[in-house]
Amino acid sequence: TEYDLIIVNGLVVSDTETQEWDIAVKDEKIKKVLPRGGFHEVNATRIIDAEGGYVMPGGVDAHVHLQEPPLFGQGSTADNYETGSRSAVCGGTTTMVTFAPQKKSEDSLLDTLAATHARAKDNCYIDYSFHLLVGNPSERALSEFKTLREKGISSLKIYMTYEALQLHDGQILDVLLEARKQGITTMIHAENNHVINWMTAQLEKRQLFAPKYHGPSHPPVAEIEAIYRAISLSEFMDTPILIVHVSTPQAAAHIKSAQARGLPIFAETCPQYLFLTKKHLDGPGFEGAKCVCSPPPRESESDCDAIWTGLKDGTFTILSSDHCPFRYDDAETGKKSSVTEDFPLGKFKFVPNGCPGIETRLPLTLSAARLPLTKFVQVTSTNPARLYGLYPTKGALFEGMSDADINIWYPEGKMEEFELTNDMLHHDVDYTPFEGRMINQWPRWTILRGKVVWDREGGGLLGQKGYGRFVKREASSLAKPLREDEWELPL
Ligand code: URP
Ligand code: ZN
Ligand code: ZN
Ligand code: ZN
């Protein structure tokens, strides 16, 4: 037959427009796109009738932690490449960029990359790449940036906090300079570690240990100051950066004003900061631990509103999950990390930071119906693909160019509203911070390189582990230095 698959009667949403188009797929690619009815006389192996539902490029989740050593608290990550990518595909994410973590004690980033490849290989349900997480910017590590680029890695992440990972400002400049030379985009976790440690000591002195004190231990000032510093270092070095998981309106304002000055400053936010506030950290007993992430959920709904506004007005380029899967009850002992007889509510400083969310990112956000559809596609698919050098293979539905990675959603009003519970999800984590939220959208079909890998009403997960493959990435098509010449020491 002429095509492997034709999708008819959909409302095709791109990052710029919504159209009544039909899409034909052949050999893993988008082969042809025609106005509705255009494939009427054409034969195909399979036809899917979208019945007026939205048809969007598959989700690209560019902030995912899988199978990392315990770097953010006690406990190791629950999801491996298999279970994490399985969860992803069941929520409409067809490409993920996970972290390849280099510890401070390690020298070579190429070794880190090889070890991470080994964890992912033959295990993934979806396509994937890695950001190198640079814990030790040694001379050797810096000299390897060039080879990383040749191996298809065009981004890295550094931390301004966490003892196990934190770089000081001089090391950050080393990384930014080399990243600039090699066309690598640097992601920065911007929080001031000294402020966090000082606040933690103050709280413990007052015998305040419960999970809810994770909030005050990471006050907005820690994020605001560090983001301002990160912007300043980026401007000094004329090197683009992406500030990850921004939670604070005042920090967003710094980002916005830097962008208004034309600086290549990009920012990310996550569903946690759209849907959770400090009251979620204040559950009964140890429950609040389920919402411990850094930065923490903030004060009130008006903080969430400001983050939604930042997504709408473009301050935030991307919406990622920051899927960081730790178990609530330990899988072996059944115990909660850090809960003891002496500390029945645990100790917030030992609760591993991070929440699971790779499967819920798209359905939760679309169900909230607070973004124009094109903006939803921008921040969850097209922009992450552009920012990290995957576009237009990923993040778009262009004839002849894009992989046939497609989500088909339910027609508006067709899906009955339901309550999200963790037992619907496909990760290996024993909770979701979004338990009990009402949802009215979910991908009905998800297609990865032409194959139906998720069919909500026809067996659920149909994809296979190992079908997902490593995608070599180009330089970012969004993040570029302002000046083209080499950086010169200002004298
Ligand atoms: O709390 C968080 N976000 N944990 C994951 C690690 C990180 O900093 O991204
Ligand atoms: Zn981070
Ligand atoms: Zn984080
Ligand atoms: Zn993270």
Atom 4 of ligand 1, nearest CA residue: 354
Alpha carbon of 349 to ligand 3 centroid (Å): 15
How many A from CA of 427 to the centre of ligand 3?
A: 18
Flag whether the ipTM exceeds 0.95.
no
d(CA 273, CA 364): 12
The pLDDT score that the predictor gives to residue 332 is 79
Tokens of 407: 């989500």
Ligand 1 touching residue 245 (CB < 6 A)? yes
Point out the ligand nearest to the CA of residue 433.
Answer: 1
Taking CA atoms, 39 is separated from 33, 36, 127, 480, in Å, by 9, 8, 29, 41
**Closest ligand to residue 188's CA:** 2
Overall residue count recorded for the chain in this entry? 491
Would you call 10 exposed, middle or buried from its count of C-beta atoms within 10 A (0-12, 13-18, 19+)? buried
User: Which atom belonging to ligand 1 lies closest to the Cα atom of 244?
Assistant: 9
The pLDDT of residue 77 is 75
Q: Distance (Å, rounded) from C-alpha 124 to C-alpha 432? A: 22
Q: Work out which ligand 1 atom sits closest to the CA atom of 157.
A: 9
Specify the pTM: 0.97
All residue ranges of the chain with pLDDT < 50 are none
- In the reported structure, the alpha carbon of residue 342 is separated from the centroid of ligand 1 by a whole-number distance in angstroms of 28
Q: Shortest CA distance to 54 belongs to which of 414, 294, 339?
A: 414
Nearest ligand (C-alpha, residue 63): 4
CB of 450 sitting under 6 A from ligand 1: no
Task: Give the model's pLDDT for residue 72.
Answer: 67
* Predicted pLDDT at 134: 98
